[in-house]
Structure 1
Amino acid sequence: MIHCMTSFAQSERSALCDTFLEVGPDAPTLSGSWRTRDLAAHLILRERRPDAAIGMFLAPLAGRTDKIQASLAQRPFEELVDTIRSGPPKWNPMALGSIDEAANLGEFFVHHEDVLRGVDPAARRQLDPAEQKALFGVLSRMGMLTLRSCRVGVVADSPGYGRRSLRSPKDEHGNVVMTGEPSEIVLYLFGRGEVADVELDGADHDVAAFRETNLGV
């Protein structure tokens, strides 16, 4: 089967929207205290309100971001889901295929799992190997964002997909090897380590330091 380069980001978006409608607006997620309506509002804000989305990265503006997101979350849930399903507006660079895949594959995969595993902690999907390969391809870029404060070296090892250094060790630290499917390593790097099926291997003090690192975008 031949996949177009945007198919995985788009298929995760579509599947997440289907799952939203299945579980309803008030289902739990792995995104802190957010319910599904809050997560849907977050995704819309991220793509359609750049003036508000900046508060995700600048603490002084976080209050305004939270207020706008809370307002969005009060809209009819089906309307929120339809807006997400329609994709980024044309003025957003993420509307371009290659940027959509780079910016949204990890985002929509993780948030889809946030809902699936938030509702059922045992839920596991069998992903297409081609999607696993695509997720492995985003690990280096993701590591640059989520491992900024990490002093430990981090290596991703996905049997059948590859082995990649995501972070060089600092100070007296060595490497920690994360072993698992690309999808599970992506979840771990997004701060979902408690639910990710990933094994950590390294010196005890390095593994302990890595577990204490604040991960997530």
Structure 2
Amino acid sequence: MTLAQDERAALVDTLRSVGPDAPTLCEGWTTRDLVAHLVVRERRPDTGPGFMIKQFAGHTERVRADAAAGSWQVLLDQLASGPPTFSPFKLVDRWANLAEMFVHHEDVLRGGTPRDAPWTPRPLSAEMQEALVTPAKSMAKLTLKGSPASVTLTTTDGRELVTSGSGKPVVVTGTAGELVLFAFGRAPLDVTYEGDGDSVSAVMSAKRGF
């Protein structure tokens, strides 16, 4: 199995454990809403534009809401089985879905926890941490370009992954997994911040992600 498949299976196990009405880090979404999003993303190519383009978002949300109204067990089985043959994600699952499954798994695990609460991440293998370096870099380039400071993401082993934004320098340090979550705008997190106090505060409160 690939890392993306492993993370998908772990996510499904967690979802089965917590049920369809558990909170997530996705504002306004329960676990049922989140699973419907993942299933629609892979099984309804016509909804793809709505994930990125505001004008198409209404159609995507209607399809997702319809899916969410269906059977929880069917949704879980569809998610567990992975992208169907006709899905554009079928051939690129190992790359396109690694961060997707990881971030949404953490959305469930950390759901209901205050953003400023301390958090101890689950252990991840060295292979998984290394695989998350690339999505941390690529996502940060997008989500930090409007940052109120020049933000550098640095791993706990001292590697500088990316610098984006403008202003006074702020260094955010954490494992690759936590830096992916930072780039996606998730919290709580297990990261440290270095820099001017006002700049650090501005970075911590700035909106990131989509």
TM-score over 0.5 (shorter chain): yes
- Give the match for residue 122 of structure 2: 125
Q: CA deviation at 1:120?
A: 6.5
| Counterparts of residues 1-217 of structure 1 (less than 5 Å) | 7-96=2-91, 99-118=92-111, 124-160=121-157, 162-167=159-164, 169-170=165-166, 173-192=167-186, 194-217=187-210
Please tell me the residue identity of whatever aligns with 1:185. Answer: L
Superposition deviation, residue 80 in structure 1: 0.4
Helix, strand or coil: the match of 2:108?
A: helix
Change (3 A) 1:198 1:91: same
> Shift in Å at residue 152 of structure 1?
2.5
Q: Distance in 2 between the 1:196 and 1:104 partners?
A: 21
- CA apart distance, 1:30: 0.8
Are the structure 2 counterparts of residues 147 and 53 from structure 1 closer, same or farther at C-alpha, using a change threshold of 3 Å? same
Deviates more, 1:49-58 or 1:110-119: 49-58
- The number of equivalent residue pairs is 206
SS at match of 1:95: coil
**Maintained 8 Å contact 2:45/2:88:** no
Amino acid at match of 2:136: L
* Larger mean Cα displacement after TM superposition, 55-64 or 9-18: 55-64
Deviation digits for residues 100-155 of structure 1, max 9, x if unmatched? 23211111101001111116675631111111111123211111232242252221
Aligned AA for 1:45? Answer: V
Instruction: Supply the AA of the counterpart residue of 1:198.
Output: V
Pair 22,117 (structure 1): closer, same or farther in 2 beyond 3 Å:
same
Q: Which amino acid aligns with 2:134?
A: G
- The one-letter code matched in structure 1 to 2:204 is R
Show structure 1 runs of 5+ residues with no match.
1-5
Q: Deviations over 1:162-207 (max 9, x none)?
A: 222231x43xx13211111111111111111x30111111123432
Give, in whole Å, the separation in 2 of the partners of 1:7 and 1:79. 23
- Give the superposed CA RMSD: 2.0
**Cα pair distance change 1:24/1:123, threshold 3 Å:** farther
- In the TM superposition, what is the alpha-carbon distance from 1:208 to its structure 2 partner? 3.1
**Aligned-residue identity in percent:** 42
1:32-58: CA deviations, max 9, x gaps? 111111000000111121212322222
- Closer/same/farther in 2, CA of residues 207 and 120 from structure 1, 3 Å limit: closer
8 Å CA contact retained: 2:45, 2:87: no
Contact 2:20 2:32 in 1 (8 A): yes
What runs of 5+ residues in structure 2 fail to find an aligned partner?
none
Give, in whole Å, the separation in 1 of the partners of 2:86 and 2:150.
39
Structure 1: which 4+ aligned runs deviate by more than 4 Å? 119-123
